[in-house]
Structure 1
Amino acid sequence: MITNSFSSGQQDPKHASGIKTESETSVHKLVKINNDYLMNELYLQSLSSGKRLTELEPGNANFNYRYGVALNQTSKYLEEPITYLKKAAEKTSSKADMFNPNEKSAPTDAIYLYALALHRFGEIDEAIDNYKKFIAVAGNKHPLYNQAALNLTQAENAKNTIDNKEIKELVPLNTSINTNTSEFAPIVSFDGTNLYFTSGRPWTKDNKENQIDPVTGTYYEDIYVSSLVDNEWTAPEMIGFCSPSENEASISVSVDERRVYIYNSETGNGDIYYSNFENGKFNQIKKLNNDNVNTEDWQTHYTVSPNGKMALFTSNNPKGFGGLDIYMITKNADNTWSAPVNLGPEINTKYDEDAPFISFDGKTLYYASNNERSIGGFDIFKAEWKDGKFINSENLGTPVNSTYDDLFFSITADGLTAYISSFRKGGHGELDIYQVIFNESNSTNSVLKGRIYLTDGYETIPENIAMQLKCIDCSDEEIITLLPRIRDGKFYSVLEKCKKYELKYINSVSGKEIAIQNFSTNCEETFESIEKELGIEVDENREISVSQLYTLRGSVFDKETNAKLEGAEIEVQDKNGKTLYSVYTRKDGTYVSNDFKGLKLNSNTTCKLIINKPGYISVSKDVAFVAGSDRYIDIEPIGIEKSKAGKDLGKVMVLNTIYYDLNSSYLRKDAKKELDKIVQAMNLNPNIVIELGSHTDCREDDEYNQWLSDRRAMRAAEYIKKRIKNGDARITGKGYGETQLLNNCGCEEADDSNCSEEQHQMNRRTEFIIVKE
């Protein structure tokens, strides 16, 4: 069993089955009442009489033991039992009869329970001392001897544990998720936006209150879901199939979130159930129809790998290694499941293994175990998939693991965020849910993140749309069928590196093709997210057609340092030069435009981007695209340069060489085309003042070269002046002749040089030097 704290907690007073006049009742009567509760394991109900006994006789080790035992099973806070168990452990006897009202000593068990309470609370040195004391006093025939020996090993592990350097921090979730009752079994969606969990909190549905479990005295447990909006978890919503008089516990969720798997203890020794999302809601739960999983043994957990080809479940099958073991089944070619296979000694021990979770790429198994490598109770472990089995199991260390139970690890596809449930010092009460934030992703996967969205006002994603994903150049020609999440149309799949893919959207009822998108994965050993979106509309006959919106996305960087630039303005203009809107780059230098609406499929569209950032030279980029099936139009990264005196604007704008006919200063058509780029740049940057300098090579005499360069500079400057605002004040032309050669190609006599034509060409140039920003 994982922990009694799953169904622990303080009882609501109006439901309590307490003692009405205990203050006036004799000690003997109180002991009798308390005995009845304890013998029936009604620990919560025993608290009132147990506490009263400690008040009447504070030094009575037996009474402190009784109350400490009850607190150990029910307390919301780890420190509460310690005071009472300490008093009990100070006076013990192997012959003590705790049910005798005249007994003043506590059973030897009190030393063990005191050590356990200290261990859970993190008082490791004192816990170790008391474990050793109990082992010495009790002897190896005591029923708790083996458990005490295991706990001692775990406590000694806790003294030597090392922080996991891959983890940045561990954060408890907010009070809309965590309450003073138990919250456990968190399952995060692979994109990190939905969190399913179980909680025994009070609720009202259809004017019906959920009820109190008569055995535990706590509210029945139900399954909730919360969404991440603006980096905050929303108020949880209970899933519709939950009953006010039964426990339902979530154990796993399918990738498309159309199926929830549930543990139900109402049949057998505990079996696996599920509920499918259909017609806008989760159906009533059904027992999983697999006799290899649901047996006469105790099954606590079941999870299916993201690709649907493997499932893991836990069972206390007596043929296993001991306690709960993890078993694997795989899907056959005919869509049936194989016989179970025990994961073997790499994973399973003679202790309990529970709550398996398979990473998005199927390469890592996370699970909980209370084995000899734990630091207290259940710890989270991970193992890697290699050669058809999970191997190399290792403890995740602190801060993920604590000195009490840590279970139900689940992690996002990018490997950056995980969630666990844990009963530890400083919590809200009992089991709480914690977020595990990693420093960086260890994932090297390529992941498809897709989304179907509606453009016609239809309220929900139709359930009859599906995607077929095919790797075009993979050895495995299998076509994978994907289904979108109904709540937001998102879908996911892991991809192979360095491969080409086809993503086909179909009507899953009629088989009609809706659209096709093609893409490739990169060959780098880093995490890659490939985003694909398709806009659709649904007619009155529920026929689906493409109704795509189109979005430009790209990035801006500093051309000189390659640094990504935040806060650069991307001004989007239509083909006529009318400004439509502006967006700004984010911290990583990326931007996403507003949607282009109303474009017909396969139509040609053009627009212009103006990139502005204070201190930088503004530039423009013409964009042309075909309105195809892909929503996102990826623009090549745009580099911009800082505006400073002395910089050549021509080099910034990447001008081609401005040619003149021999011995002529008249502007050719190809020269005007290049000068128009300067005109555009100066109109985009109205504060820039430039000097246009014209240079010749050394051939011809000095006086002629000076005259020719003056004429060419004047004509080019005049061309620009007429086409920019305030041109007379912003551009001047100056000829330099052969006075500023860029190389050693001077001429001692006219036409006398050993340089090549290419070397002379370097000196025949036009420069546009910024003299004022």
Structure 2
Amino acid sequence: MPRLILIFLISLSLSGVAQAQSVKRLLKTADKYYEHGFYYEAAINYKKAADITPDDLSITYKIGLAYLKSRYKHRAMPFLEEVYENTQDSTSTLVFHLGLAYQYNHQFEKALEYFHYYRKNAENTYTVDRHIRQCNIGIEYVNNPKNVEIRNLKKLNSDNQDYAPLITSDGKSLIFTSRREGSTGGKKAYDDNYYEDIYIVRRNKGDWLIPEKISTNINTHYHECGAAISPDGKTLFIYVDEGDGDIYFSTYQNKEWSVPLPVSQYVNSPYRELSVSVNQAGDELYFSSNRPGGFGGFDLYVSRKDRRGEWGPPENLGPKINTEADEDAPFIHPSGKSLFFSSKGHMGMGGYDIFQSRKYQGKWSTPINMGYPINTAQDDIYFVTSADNALGYYATAREDGMGGNDLYVINMKPKKAAPKPVAAAPVKNTTYFIGKVTDAGSGNPVAAELILSDNRKNIIIDRQYSDPSTGEFKISIPEGENFGLIVEAEGYLFYSTNFGADQLKGRKEIKRAIQLDKAVVGSVTILKNIFFDTGKASIKQESISELDRVHELLKANPNLKIQINGHTDNVGEADYNQKLSEQRAKAVASYLLQYGTTEAQVVAKGFGETRPLVSNDDEFGGREINRRTEIEILSVHEKIEEKKKGLLPTLTF
């Protein structure tokens, strides 16, 4: 063999070995990033490896998976599509992952195709059912956007991560956290990004100036994140990444911020405390923590100042606010009547969505999703608003971003453009549901929350309250096909009713007196929004909102045990009806168990046609009423000693 050819072949061999070693190093680095939760950084290194070996679909798949878990979830789609189009593995979790990618790109209809296909062979449908609901909600929200304008604060953002905006009460200063180049110490953390620093920027004549590091007393060589600013702008609360993460505070005196000190032994714990908000009076501190005793993940708590000015023992905000998943970034509005926060547990479009709860009679209401385009299928978090509600600020990762999470401003009250001439749209009918809520035993008025849901879309569309002195209420029901209404008050078993298209058509008002039964052993309520196909025990999608309410009831009262009662009419053989009622009751119980209810809390029993409420002689005034699902309270076990110590809440229904 000629010498030149031999040298050429040897060089090719060495090049191949070098490439293989390079790919191996890149994959090792990427796997390490992925293992430690730095998914974007993992995706970048997987992509470098894929550039060398573009035909390796296993690496392409890893790129997609890393993006799905990163702050750039929508970027996973082309990589997962490539794998799907070039493999026979169409029945595996690849189908589910591709559904996620379409969801995060707001291609909800296409995502639903893949989720439904995956669901056919899934052993546990909890996760895929949740994403199906998110896609249905996404379709509804995108088709009915809120009238807001959202703009990237490009002058403040960098090519790295910028987040956690804090606006002063006068609206003239914005404090935020950034991992941009030039951080204090100039060093990078394990994920190859700079350590967090806190910046402040001031507004002059309506325009933001150049951001500056807030203070050398606050920023160190490690992580500091702005958590809240007091109403007077003189106390800054900071998340400090020491131990598992605690909250510190710094005060502004003599034109300088003091060295941060820990907030309180009650607020800080051996676990993580992430975000903080302080009310206008400065005597309530809302924060998120993953300490034990909550409902799961990070929960929201409130700590109040005692007579000595110290923050006292925290109180969990309860099951209306907190879920089994994460709640974070609380913001208490200056009015004290609205609480904004981000949640992965309350139903939204995907990831963190921003929700609003209102305070009434000292209690927080059922949270309402703030809708699209404020919320997206990405993580939307750290929402704060100006005192006049004109502007909101938050952080999210979008395609028009400059890098990582960016800061955005929301014009909550944009000027309405002149309407274009269009053909007159048909006037939609609105029906008002009017009545009074009273105690079934005494007849006294009850202050209750009324929660209206669109069962077809599985979203909460309104919530109102009955007058505490009279029990009177009025809630509007839009034109539609299937609405469910829950009426609930503390200490009572909730009341459920349903409004169909036939009931609402052409009616201006529906009047009804609602009597709530005390939540005691033996209390029974009919679940008017649980639906089954004729002759079947499979639960229809329109039942989900009501089932979730039953789950919340059990979650809020872990010492409560209920029985699901199934009933039928008298059409058909008695044995068949008995079996069908048992199957339907078990289907409801199984749903609750699948979604986290403990087996000690729920049992199922079918009664067939043996317990009719009315005569079965006709359909709508008889058989329809007798076909029903109920919950019955079997027992309430509470330890009196613990309740006196405040370790167990009173029953909340």
User: Normalised by the shorter chain, which TM-score bucket?
Assistant: 0.5 to 0.7
Cα distance in 2, alignment partners of residues 74 and 217 from structure 1 = 15
**Structure 2 residue 171 is the aligned partner of structure 1 residue 185:** no
Classify the secondary structure of the residue corresponding to 2:404.
Answer: coil
Match of residue 81 from structure 1: 76
TM-align CA RMSD: 3.0
Cα distance in 2, alignment partners of residues 411 and 170 from structure 1 = 13
Cα distance change, pair 169–297 in 1 and its aligned pair in 2 (3 A): same
Cα distance change, pair 382–71 in 1 and its aligned pair in 2 (3 A): closer
Cα distance change, pair 27–152 in 1 and its aligned pair in 2 (3 A): farther
Match of residue 233 from structure 1: 208
Cα distance change, pair 48–425 in 1 and its aligned pair in 2 (3 A): closer
* TM-score, scaled relative to structure 1: 0.48
Q: Shift of the alpha carbon at 1:383?
A: 1.0
**Structure 2 residue 310 is the aligned partner of structure 1 residue 315:** no
Classify the secondary structure of the residue corresponding to 2:231.
Answer: coil
Look up the equivalent residue of 2:201 and give its one-letter code. S
Q: Deviations over 1:581-614 (max 9, x none)?
A: xxxxxxxxxxxxxxxxxxxxxxxxxxxxxxxxxx
Cα distance in 2, alignment partners of residues 131 and 310 from structure 1 = 43
Q: Which of 199, 214, 229 is the equivalent residue of 1:224?
A: 199
Match of residue 523 from structure 1: none
Tell me which protein shows more helix as a share of its residues.
2
Q: Which of 47, 51, 57 is the equivalent residue of 2:47?
A: 51
Cα distance in 2, alignment partners of residues 81 and 417 from structure 1 = 32
Match of residue 349 from structure 2: 375
Structure 1, 115-124 or 29-38: larger mean CA deviation: 29-38
Look up the equivalent residue of 2:58 and give its one-letter code. N
Look up the equivalent residue of 1:212 and give its one-letter code. K
Q: Shift of the alpha carbon at 1:156?
A: 1.9
Match of residue 282 from structure 1: 257
Q: Shift of the alpha carbon at 1:106?
A: 10
Match of residue 38 from structure 1: 31
Q: Is the 8 A contact 1:22 1:30 kept in 2?
A: no
* TM-score, scaled relative to structure 2: 0.56
Classify the secondary structure of the residue corresponding to 1:152.
Answer: helix
Count of residue pairs brought into register by the alignment: 398
Cα distance in 2, alignment partners of residues 381 and 114 from structure 1 = 27
**Structure 2 residue 62 is the aligned partner of structure 1 residue 66:** yes
Q: Which of 240, 248, 253 is the equivalent residue of 2:224?
A: 248
Cα distance in 2, alignment partners of residues 309 and 258 from structure 1 = 15
**Structure 2 residue 379 is the aligned partner of structure 1 residue 405:** yes
Cα distance in 1, alignment partners of residues 306 and 412 from structure 2 = 36
Q: Deviations over 1:539-570 (max 9, x none)?
A: xxxxxxxxxxxxxxxxxxxxxxxxxxxxxxxx
Q: Deviations over 1:57-111 (max 9, x none)?
A: 4343212012333444567x55533221222344679xxxxxxxxxxx7994544
Q: Shift of the alpha carbon at 1:224?
A: 0.8
Classify the secondary structure of the residue corresponding to 2:383.
Answer: strand
Look up the equivalent residue of 2:294 and give its one-letter code. G
Q: How do 1:136-215 and structure 2 match up within 5 A?
A: 136-140=120-124, 146-161=126-141, 167-173=147-153, 175-203=154-182, 210-213=186-189, 215=190
Cα distance in 1, alignment partners of residues 75 and 230 from structure 2 = 39
Cα distance change, pair 138–27 in 1 and its aligned pair in 2 (3 A): farther
Q: Is the 8 A contact 2:162 2:177 kept in 1?
A: yes
Percentage of identical aligned residues: 27
Q: Shift of the alpha carbon at 1:146?
A: 4.4
Q: Shift of the alpha carbon at 1:235?
A: 0.7
Q: Shift of the alpha carbon at 1:56?
A: 4.5
Q: Is the 8 A contact 1:65 1:106 kept in 2?
A: no
Cα distance change, pair 106–179 in 1 and its aligned pair in 2 (3 A): farther
Q: Deviations over 1:500-551 (max 9, x none)?
A: xxxxxxxxxxxxxxxxxxxxxxxxxxxxxxxxxxxxxxxxxxxxxxxxxxxx
Q: How do 1:537-552 and structure 2 match up within 5 A?
A: none
Cα distance change, pair 45–371 in 1 and its aligned pair in 2 (3 A): closer
Q: Which of 342, 358, 373 is the equivalent residue of 1:384?
A: 358
Q: Deviations over 1:85-139 (max 9, x none)?
A: 222344679xxxxxxxxxxx79945444433333222222222233334444553
Q: Deviations over 1:188-233 (max 9, x none)?
A: 112211111111111166xxx52111x2111111111111212111
Cα distance in 1, alignment partners of residues 56 and 119 from structure 2 = 24
Q: Shift of the alpha carbon at 1:251?
A: 1.1
Q: Deviations over 1:471-498 (max 9, x none)?
A: xxxxxxxxxxxxxxxxxxxxxxxxxxxx
Look up the equivalent residue of 2:156 and give its one-letter code. I
Q: Deviations over 1:269-289 (max 9, x none)?
A: 22111111123211222222x
Classify the secondary structure of the residue corresponding to 1:69.
Answer: helix
Q: Which of 100, 104, 108 is the equivalent residue of 1:124?
A: 108
Q: Shift of the alpha carbon at 1:29?
A: 6.3
> Which is greater in Rg?
1
Q: Shift of the alpha carbon at 1:234?
A: 0.9
Q: Deviations over 1:222-270 (max 9, x none)?
A: 1111112121111111111354531111111011111111112222x22
Q: Shift of the alpha carbon at 1:157?
A: 0.9
Cα distance change, pair 300–108 in 1 and its aligned pair in 2 (3 A): farther
**Structure 2 residue 98 is the aligned partner of structure 1 residue 114:** yes
Question: What runs of 5+ residues in structure 1 fail to find an aligned partner?
Answer: 1-20, 94-104, 442-773
Cα distance in 2, alignment partners of residues 232 and 375 from structure 1 = 33
Structure 1, 308-317 or 242-251: larger mean CA deviation: 242-251
Q: How do 1:586-735 and structure 2 match up within 5 A?
A: none
Match of residue 396 from structure 1: 370
Cα distance change, pair 36–437 in 1 and its aligned pair in 2 (3 A): closer
